[in-house]
Structure 1
Amino acid sequence: MTDSLITIDGDRLWRSLMELAEIGAYDDARTGLRGVNRLALTDADAEGRRLVLGWFRQAGMSVRIDPMGNLIARRDGTDPGAAPVMTGSHLDSVATAGAFDGCLGVLGGLEVVRTLTERGISTRRPIEVVVFTEEEGVRFGTDMLGSAVAAGRIAIKDAHDLIDRDGLSVGAELRRTGFAGDGPARFDPPHAYVECHIEQGPVLAEAGLTVGVVTGVQAISWQEITISGRAAHAGTTPTELRADAGLAAAQIIVALRKMVDSGSYGQLRATVGHLAVHPDLTNIVPARAQLTVDLRNPDDEQMARAEADLAGYLAGLEGSQPGLGLSTRRMARTSHVPFDHGIQKAIATAADDHGLAHLSLLSGAGHDAQEMAAICPTAMIFVRGEYDGISHNPREYSTPQACARGIDVLATTLVRLAGE
C-alpha cells in the first residue's frame, strides 16, 4: 500500500500561481506593486478560467460545467460509484487583488492531482477540483454565489437574474463568456469538501506558524442602503431646509463605528465599502446617496441584535431631515457556520504527520466552504500570509514554502479521505 503522506511539487505550484496572476494584472499606483483585477465573468476571468481548464485536461481530468458556470474537474477513483472527495475555491477576484486569494485552493487541488498521477497513486473515491463562480460578490452583489447555488441556498434562476451596476446579468455574462453549462445546478453531496486558502489575517504570522485548521466561518450580513434627499444650491439653501443625503450617509458610517466601539455586540465588525452620491457636484447638496454595509460577527445572536439596532437607527434617521427617505436591499446573509470536527481532525493529523505545528482558528472572511458545509462534512486549511496577512490588496503575499506546505497538508488529507 502506498504511503498516504503526500508532498507536492512546490516549484510547479508557484509557477502556476504566478502565470495565472498575469491574467488581469495591472500596475497599482498606490503600492507600486503588480495587482490582479479579475472580476467574475469579465473577459479576464474567462481567460483565467480557460487557462486553468486547459491545465485540468492536461492533468488527465474530465471537466464538466454546470448551469452556474462552476467548473468541476474529476480524477476518477477505483470505485466509480463512490461519492467524490472535493476541493477547490475560486478564480474571480476583487478589483485590487493579489495572486493568492482563491487561486491557491484551485491550483493547489490541481497540483495534488498532478502529483498523484505522476506517482501512480490511485484512490478509491474520485477527487474533484471545483472552480466556483463569483465567490467575491463584488460584481453581482452576492458573495459565494456559485457555491450557494451548488449547495441549494440560492435558486439558479435567482442567481442568473442578478445584475451588475451596468445592468448586465449573471445569466447573460455566462452565455457571453462561454461558461453557461448544463446539467443539474445542485451538487450531489460529496463524501467531504476540504478547501485550502490563505488566511487573510495576522493570526498565523503572529504565532510563527505556517498552517492553521479552520473551525468555521463567522456570520456575514450585506445590505445596500439608498438615501433620497433633495438637490439644492450649496450657497443659498439654509441648513435647516436641506434634505442632505450625503450628511445622512456620513451619519450612518459614524453610527456603525460607534456600534463596533461600544463593545455591546461582541466581536462585531462593520465596513462601508461602497459610497456614492448624486449629482456628485461641488456646489450642490446631494439628492441621493447609496452605500453598502458589511457586518461580520462570530455570534449569531449578537449579529441579529446589531442588525435590528441598525434598522432602528435608520428608521429614526429617516425623520431627522424634512423630505429625507431611506430604503434598504438585502444583498447577502449567512449565519455562523461551524466546520465538521472529523475533517478538522483529519487536517490536524496530516499537519502533524508533515511535522507542521498548527493552531485552530475561526475564519473572519467568507468562503465557498461555508456553503458546502450544508451538504457534506467540510473544513478548511489556512496558509500563513505575510505583511499582517493583508488581502484584497496587491500587497497580499504568501511565500512559496508556505503555499507548498499548505498544499502538502491538503494532498495528504484528500488522499486519506478518498481512501475511506
Structure 2
Amino acid sequence: MRINRDRLMDALEQLARIGAYEDAGFRGVRRLALTDEDAAARRLVIDWYKDAGLTVNTDAIGNTYADRPGKDNTLQPVMAGSHVDSVPTGGRFDGVLGVLSALETVRTLNDNNITTNHPLTIAFFTDEEGCRFGTDMLGSAVATGRIPLEKALRLTDADGRTVGEELERIGFNGPEPVNQRRPAAFVECHVEQGPILAREGFDLGVVTGVQGISWRRLTITGAAAHAGATPMNYRKDAGLAAARINVEIRRMCDSGDFGPDMRATMGVIRPEPGSVNVIPGRVVATVDLRNPDEKALEAAENALDQFIEKLAADAGLHITSEQTARTPPVAFDEKVQTVIAAVADDLGLKHRPIIAGAGHDAQEWSRLCPTAMIFTPGENDGISHNPRELSTPKQCGDAADALCNTILRLAGADA
C-alpha cells in the first residue's frame, strides 16, 4: 500500500502557512501551544478529519481524537498521532508529519475502500513541546495519567495565563474525560531531529525507546555591583556561576562517567539587571539533562546537585534548583518495532534501530499499550527546532508509507 505523496506534501504546505515566519531566507513556524496560531492549525486539521469521514472528539486538556470504525468495534483501536504546536523557532515538519501521515493513512484507506479489523484513532495532543507552560508532552501525560488534569490546568505561562484559561479562550476545553482511551497499539511517525540517519544513509529509523529527560530551573542570586569599581575578588557574580555550571555539564558529558549517550544543555541564561556595566546580581537559567539509562541519569542529577551546592558555598551565592520536568527513559515494544522493520523491508527501505534523543508523545502512550515510533531523516544534518528543518518529499513519503502499512498490520488488514 502506498500513500498519496502529493496530497501529503500539500497538507504539510497548507499547515506550514499557519504561524509562518521567515529567517535568513528559510521559512519556519511559530505556533506555541494554545495560542491563536495553534488554534488555527487545530481547526484546519479537524476540518480534514471530518472531510475524511472521521468522528472527532476533544478532551478536557485539548487532545483531539478522530475515530474510524473497524470491522469489530469491540476491539481496542490502533492509534497514531503527534502534535501541531511548535517551539518559538519551529520547523515545518516537527510533529505535523506524524499528524498528517496518520491522516494520509486514513485517506488512503478510504481511497481503497479498506476497513481494518480494529477501529482506528488518529490524534493530535496538546503542548508536546512544553516551551510555553514548562511541561513537555503535557496533553499526552494527562491523557495517560502521569499528570493530574487539575495540576495541568493550573500551569502558567510567562504572562501568568493558565492552561485552563487558554484552553477555554481558544475553544478546546473539550467535553471528553481524560484518561479513558486505551489503544491496542500506538505508533508515531516523526522527523529524527538529528544527523544519524542521513549521515549513515538510512531511509528510516525504527525507534527503540526515548532518553530520560530531566529539566530544572536554576535561580542564582549574588550581588549586582559596578563593573568598574568592584575588584574581581570582591564580586558575587551570578553570571560567572551560570557559566561555571554550563562548563561543568559539558565536562560531565565528555567525561564518560555517565555513559556514552549523556547529553546536557543550558538553554536559557537570563542575567539581571542585564546591563553592560553591571555585574549580574541574579541569573535565571535552565539545565536539560538526557540519558537513555535511568541510573546514569540519576547519577548525573546527583553530581550536578553536588557541584551546585559546592559552587554556591565557595562563591557566597544562593542557588535554588527547581525540577520542572522529569521523564524516565522508555523502552518501546519489541513486537511493534519488528512490525515496522518488516514493513520497511517490504517497502525496500533501508532502516536501523535508533534511540530518540528528544521527548515524544509516544513515550507517554507506551505506559498504556504497545508503542513504537518511525523516524525519517532530515536534510541540513537533521536540524530541528529551526526554520532550516527539512525532510524531502521522498523522506516524508517513505515514512508515511511505513506508517500506513504498519497500521494495516497492527489493525488486521495487511495490504
TM-score tier after normalising by the smaller chain length? over 0.9
SS in 1 for 2:190: strand
From 226, 230, 253, the counterpart of 2:223: 230
Please give the alpha-carbon distance, in whole angstroms, between the structure 2 residues aligned to 1:59 and 1:188.
21
1:313 and 2:307 are equivalent in the alignment: yes
1:212 and 2:205 are equivalent in the alignment: yes
1:401 and 2:401 are equivalent in the alignment: no
Deviations 1:4-53 (A, max 9, x none): xx21100000000011001000011xx32111111111111111111111
1:245 and 2:264 are equivalent in the alignment: no
1:36 and 2:1 are equivalent in the alignment: no
SS in 1 for 2:385: coil
Please give the alpha-carbon distance, in whole angstroms, between the structure 1 residues aligned to 2:145 and 2:347.
36
From 104, 121, 124, the counterpart of 1:131: 124
Please give the alpha-carbon distance, in whole angstroms, between the structure 1 residues aligned to 2:378 and 2:213.
22
Please give the alpha-carbon distance, in whole angstroms, between the structure 1 residues aligned to 2:203 and 2:251.
35
Hey, what does 2:21 align to over in structure 1?
A: 26
Deviations 1:321-370 (A, max 9, x none): 23x21111111111110000110111111111212221111111111111
Hey, what does 2:331 align to over in structure 1?
A: 338
- Calculate the TM-score normalised by the size of structure 2: 0.97
Identity across aligned pairs (percent)?
54
SS in 2 for 1:388: helix
1:79 and 2:72 are equivalent in the alignment: yes
What is the Cα-based RMSD across aligned positions, in Å?
1.1
1:140 and 2:133 are equivalent in the alignment: yes
User: Which AA in structure 2 matches 1:26?
Assistant: Y
From 168, 173, 184, the counterpart of 1:175: 168
Q: CA deviation at 1:386?
A: 1.1
1:268 and 2:262 are equivalent in the alignment: yes
Deviations 1:194-223 (A, max 9, x none): 011111112211222211211111111111
Q: CA deviation at 1:119?
A: 1.2
Hey, what does 2:285 align to over in structure 1?
A: 291
Please give the alpha-carbon distance, in whole angstroms, between the structure 1 residues aligned to 2:110 and 2:151.
39
SS in 2 for 1:247: helix
Please give the alpha-carbon distance, in whole angstroms, between the structure 2 residues aligned to 1:402 and 1:236.
59
Deviations 1:152-180 (A, max 9, x none): 11111111111111111111111111111
Hey, what does 1:3 align to over in structure 2?
A: none
User: Which AA in structure 2 matches 1:318?
Assistant: A
Q: CA deviation at 1:187?
A: 3.4
SS in 2 for 1:293: strand
User: Which AA in structure 2 matches 1:408?
Assistant: D
User: Which AA in structure 2 matches 1:278?
Assistant: E
* Conservation of the 8 A alpha-carbon contact between 2:20 and 2:30: yes
1:387 and 2:380 are equivalent in the alignment: yes
Deviations 1:248-275 (A, max 9, x none): 1111111111111212111211101111
User: Which AA in structure 2 matches 1:41?
Assistant: L
User: Which AA in structure 2 matches 1:125?
Assistant: H
From 3, 7, 26, the counterpart of 2:2: 7
Deviations 1:222-260 (A, max 9, x none): 111011122222222233332211111111111111111
Please give the alpha-carbon distance, in whole angstroms, between the structure 2 residues aligned to 1:169 and 1:285.
34
Structure 1 unaligned spans of 5+ = 1-5
User: Larger deviation: 213-222 or 236-245?
Assistant: 236-245
User: Which AA in structure 2 matches 1:352?
Assistant: D
Q: CA deviation at 1:186?
A: 0.7
Please give the alpha-carbon distance, in whole angstroms, between the structure 1 residues aligned to 2:170 and 2:180.
22
Please give the alpha-carbon distance, in whole angstroms, between the structure 2 residues aligned to 1:188 and 1:283.
56
Q: CA deviation at 1:319?
A: 1.2
Please give the alpha-carbon distance, in whole angstroms, between the structure 2 residues aligned to 1:109 and 1:93.
18
Please give the alpha-carbon distance, in whole angstroms, between the structure 2 residues aligned to 1:351 and 1:263.
34
Please give the alpha-carbon distance, in whole angstroms, between the structure 2 residues aligned to 1:41 and 1:240.
48
What aligned pairs does 1:170-209 form with structure 2 within 5 A after superposition?
170-209=163-202
* Conservation of the 8 A alpha-carbon contact between 2:57 and 2:176: no
SS in 2 for 1:397: coil
Please give the alpha-carbon distance, in whole angstroms, between the structure 1 residues aligned to 2:297 and 2:229.
43
1:304 and 2:280 are equivalent in the alignment: no
Hey, what does 2:357 align to over in structure 1?
A: 364
How many residues were matched structurally?
A: 412
Please give the alpha-carbon distance, in whole angstroms, between the structure 1 residues aligned to 2:219 and 2:60.
32
What aligned pairs does 1:31-180 form with structure 2 within 5 A after superposition?
31-180=24-173
Please give the alpha-carbon distance, in whole angstroms, between the structure 2 residues aligned to 1:292 and 1:32.
30
- Calculate the TM-score normalised by the size of structure 1: 0.96
Structure 2 unaligned spans of 5+ = none
Deviations 1:398-419 (A, max 9, x none): 1101111111111111112112
